[in-house]
Every structure is written in C-alpha cells, then in structure tokens.
C-alpha cells in the first residue's frame, strides 16, 4: 500500500517510479505476462529484504516466515532467491509449515 491507494489498483500515481520500475527490452511473451505481473509485487519486496540484510558472498542469511499473511510464502521465497543471487553462502529458511 502506498499512502491511500493500493498498488493492486487498476491505476495509480507512483511517486519516484523512475527508481522503482524496470522497463523490459520489448514486449514479453504473452505466456509470461501473468507470471511477471505476479512477481512484480513480491520480487521487489524480497529483493529489498536481501539488500537491507546485506546478503552477499560468505554471508549467512535467515529468512524468517513463509508468507503467513497471504499463506503462499512468495515474499520469503523471493528473499531467499535474491540472497542466493547476491552470493550468500548459506540461506536458512524458517517456516511454521513442515511441508515447506
């Protein structure tokens, strides 16, 4: 949520969008658009978490939670994947769901 508007809205005026949006080099394949839209929310949040945690080579990162708010674990997963992309040596994922 940004101020009084939800980022899931059809239209939104986003301050500082030039620093938060990434243009694709062309039109994505139609089969990928739905996945890209789904990742657009959680990917940025997980990436920011890895940046804030200073994930990097030789570091250990703990991802606490698995998306308990929405029940799908997407933000935690994106945080773990971002930490791996930054070169974290060890990633510990903590969950209250044994099957995850």
Tokens 């500082």 -> residue: 16
- Looking at per-residue pLDDT, the higher value among 60 and 40 belongs to 60
Q: pTM for this structure?
A: 0.63
Give tens-digit pLDDT for 10-43.
777 777 766 666 677 888 888 888 877 777 778 8
Give the residue extent of every domain in the chain.
17-94
Question: CA-CA distance, 80 to 46, in Å (whole number)?
Answer: 7
Give the range among 5-9, 17-21, 35-39, 65-69 with minimum mean pLDDT.
65-69
58, 50, 100, 45: which is closest to 80 by C-alpha?
50
58, 52, 47: which is closest to 91 by C-alpha?
58
């Amino acid at each position: 949520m940004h101020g009084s508007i939800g980022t899931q809205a059809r239209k939104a005026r986003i301050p500082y969008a030039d620093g938060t949006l990434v243009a694709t080099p062309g039109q994505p394949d139609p089969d990928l658009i739905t996945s890209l839209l789904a990742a657009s929310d959680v990917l940025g949040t997980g990436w920011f978490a890895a940046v804030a945690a200073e994930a990097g080579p030789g570091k250990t990162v703990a991802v606490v939670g698995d998306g308990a708010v929405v029940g799908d674990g997407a933000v935690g997963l994106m945080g773990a994947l971002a930490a791996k992309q930054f070169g974290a040596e060890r990633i510990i994922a903590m969950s209250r769901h044994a099957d995850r």
